[in-house]
Structure 1
């Protein structure tokens, strides 16, 4: 521990260099802007700006990357709250309660909760990266292919069953997501699946295309079809809510969500979007008043925003210590390290300790910069709600179209986004949740790949996927969180029928 403290002291002068400070401020501002633009992501922002860091010192370059990463994760909540468009995949869960709060005139409070929660999550994640990187990275090494399979099933089943008032509709949505996730080339056999001889589908459906279609187009359609409102019909923004709100009530939410985010970040291939959905689902499950979620509950914003930002630095733990990128962002950051002559792995902490700890400190500093920059920017973003819906609808269509087209310069993906949007519109009208579909697209390929790998390792013995303490624990959690709620619903229905029959007698 003393050696770690000494490395931190050695890194502080590098972090306080004027160029490094400017790089962190600029990176954080750019990250918030990137996250706020639908279709863009932290991965894209970092990848595009890496060439600009060639002439910088390693610490300044990594400081800018840290700012982009943290800023983008928060920035995704801005359109999620104001326009019901997740700016980044991690902003999906924020839509559930953020947008209803904005519709109730509490957009300023929702943005402030998102900002504070994001900053706390980022700070906790940075501390975990600084102090617990080597021991925590050992946890990820213990996960086998079978463990990853059950973890993915756990995520899909809990969201599908608990998120919907009707488990059948939740499972139907998850089934659709599994189908979409299977489109493309089978990574294990190289066989084309459900691509229908379209070159654009060979690499699968981009998650941004699906997210933008399911979450941006339906509200735009609603806005376009809504009657023209006069100025008196516009719901005012309640600026005083942030003063009256009791922030201490969110402390337990932040603690729980931070732990979920850090643990999820350490496990490769999950990411902030999974952490956010897990945290939102767990917060709803553990709250006695479950009915308020999805209708504008402050806890429903604090939990996912804190968790997806607590994932940021945590996902770098296996990347920096073992050279194993746990997410696409971590993979891009490893590329940035290599550009500056830094080789990821245990030797990184020995040969370039000052730069490594400088980067980890930058993750902590930029979480504070995000709080400062976001606080001033939120006031301007709230004014978006004062626009007439008939003007807002085409703006959403334009932003969504430009964002999706910018991914691969493909009009095919734009038409696919519109198709998903129409499907999402009818799903909403039929009260079918879209979140299980999104999570199934993310976790479905992970579950399939690891199931097949586990079967190959065990010589196609099915019993192999049920072995191991971690698998048994995950199976027990799946049963507890999916079967028990279904049984409770059935028992409640029988009680109501019994009461109704007794009243008739």
Structure 2
């Protein structure tokens, strides 16, 4: 499939540059900035909370809103990490190591300037890579059949499980549990009801909105409200919050490029995105800048720039496998795919061909969103510190109550509300057991697709399972899956 990038950009700009879409983009950026600075909430929770509202918005508007919340949270997560040593967004955890010492030494606003500059440059690079690489990946994926898609989805789930925290057994258990939830309900091929035959309310399966709300919004809020964390804010700046000098920017430029490069690559991997990218970028920077002054972990600006650049770049390129292949890199991307499913749009390579205005409109909006976030973030640099001292826990139950009311009104009954509450309690229990509910969400989204492609592949192969090994691409992908398992299991066996 040939394409003209300039024509694609014009199509996306004409689709996204409309009053209602620009308003949704602004709202998404503002929500992203707020939730990124609130410890315990995060973009996944905010996106899950807004799922019931996106049903009444056009698909492009819903995607622009959700995407802006995700990459917008990367801009403000550093503020909480710098001033309070508590990351507002999980990907900002690495920023605490050097950002907070900079604030304690009177350089808090300078650290914020470094974080903002790194986020903007890396985020813009991520949009460029996304625009250039997506069509190439879509063209390559057109050579995929059902056999190759099964292998690709297996690799995606295994990759996410391998990179997850809490142990391989727990991770695989979460993936399989999510697949069971996803396969519940009426089988579209046979008409049989699976797992929920005695519950007529779930005869059509568990709704993605209810599961995402419970696991990604209600459960984290329950955990957050149970915590009693005393946060002390660092003192103000001794340099008046001065703009970093040209020499300061040149000193952190290598860290900016290293962090951006890692984020552009790692954001594409299963289980990747902003979180994995920031961790690896800080580890690399700590090794490369071992002799820097001040040392890493004691207020070195490179320790702020590298993870912030990596998280912003990873947040952008995480959309690459999501849009081009229909393979979410993390739970946040699973919510993005859930928006498409709610609007009855099939994700995957055909998205660019069937809905080009949706595909390119989202990519163009991400470039516009980065510019908008830069404009919004500059005035906020000097007000984050007093804002973070305000209590925020009391507003979270009210937000849950509002969402519950919306669910009750939309579903014309309390059953959906009880379903969300049940998944919320399940998510809280899983968190107490040190399991990752996000993997359950991935399994829920990808499980039905694996089943559908597996049935189609075996039907074409007349039940011959060896087709997964005789086709080169499928065999190579399954080899990668086996290699991922060996990477995790062999060191433990040796130990």
- TM-score higher than 0.5 here? yes
Q: Secondary structure of the equivalent of 1:386?
A: coil
Partner of 2:39: none
Partner of 1:138: 139
TM-score normalised by structure 1 residue count = 0.63
Partner of 1:399: 399
CA–CA distance in structure 2, aligned partners of residues 467 and 94 of structure 1? 48
Greater CA deviation, 66-75 or 457-466?
Answer: 66-75
Q: Secondary structure of the equivalent of 1:446?
A: helix
User: Within 5 A, what are the aligned runs for 1:12-27?
Assistant: 20=17, 25-27=22-24
CA–CA distance in structure 1, aligned partners of residues 386 and 191 of structure 2? 50
| Cα 1:178–1:103 shift into 2, 3 Å | farther
Partner of 1:98: 92
Gaps of 5+ in 2: 36-42, 82-86, 288-295, 297-302, 327-335, 346-350
Partner of 2:234: 236
Gaps of 5+ in 1: 52-61, 85-92, 265-269, 320-325, 336-343, 494-505
Q: Secondary structure of the equivalent of 2:433?
A: helix
* Residue 191 (structure 1) shift: 3.0
Q: Secondary structure of the equivalent of 2:466?
A: helix
CA–CA distance in structure 2, aligned partners of residues 6 and 260 of structure 1? 27
CA–CA distance in structure 1, aligned partners of residues 355 and 73 of structure 2? 31
| Cα 1:124–1:178 shift into 2, 3 Å | same
Partner of 2:300: none
TM-score normalised by structure 2 residue count = 0.64
Partner of 1:445: 448
Show CA shifts across 1:276-335 (max 9, x none).
Answer: 57757987998998xx9xxxx86666545423323558866689xxxxxx9455678998
* Residue 214 (structure 1) shift: 3.8
Partner of 1:208: 213
Partner of 2:71: 74
User: Within 5 A, what are the aligned runs for 1:53-202?
Assistant: 68=65, 70-75=67-72, 95-98=89-92, 106=100, 113=115, 116-117=118-119, 120-121=122-123, 124-125=126-127, 128-129=130-131, 134-164=135-165, 166-195=167-196, 196-200=198-202, 202=204
Partner of 1:366: 369
* Residue 30 (structure 1) shift: 1.4
* Residue 29 (structure 1) shift: 1.2
**2:313 counterpart of 1:310:** no
CA–CA distance in structure 2, aligned partners of residues 330 and 165 of structure 1? 30
CA–CA distance in structure 2, aligned partners of residues 206 and 241 of structure 1? 46
Partner of 1:502: none
Partner of 1:54: none
**2:50 counterpart of 1:48:** no
CA-based RMSD: 5.2
CA–CA distance in structure 1, aligned partners of residues 190 and 387 of structure 2? 49
CA–CA distance in structure 2, aligned partners of residues 6 and 307 of structure 1? 25
The answer to whether the Cα contact below 8 Å between 1:112 and 1:242 also exists between their aligned partners in 2 is: no
User: Within 5 A, what are the aligned runs for 1:419-458?
Assistant: 419-428=425-434, 432-458=435-461
CA–CA distance in structure 2, aligned partners of residues 363 and 475 of structure 1? 34
CA–CA distance in structure 1, aligned partners of residues 162 and 396 of structure 2? 31
CA–CA distance in structure 2, aligned partners of residues 363 and 403 of structure 1? 27
* Residue 134 (structure 1) shift: 5.0
* Bigger helix share: 1
* Residue 396 (structure 1) shift: 3.0
* Residue 199 (structure 1) shift: 0.9
CA–CA distance in structure 1, aligned partners of residues 149 and 286 of structure 2? 31
Greater CA deviation, 468-477 or 117-126?
Answer: 117-126
* Residue 488 (structure 1) shift: 1.7
CA–CA distance in structure 2, aligned partners of residues 152 and 111 of structure 1? 40
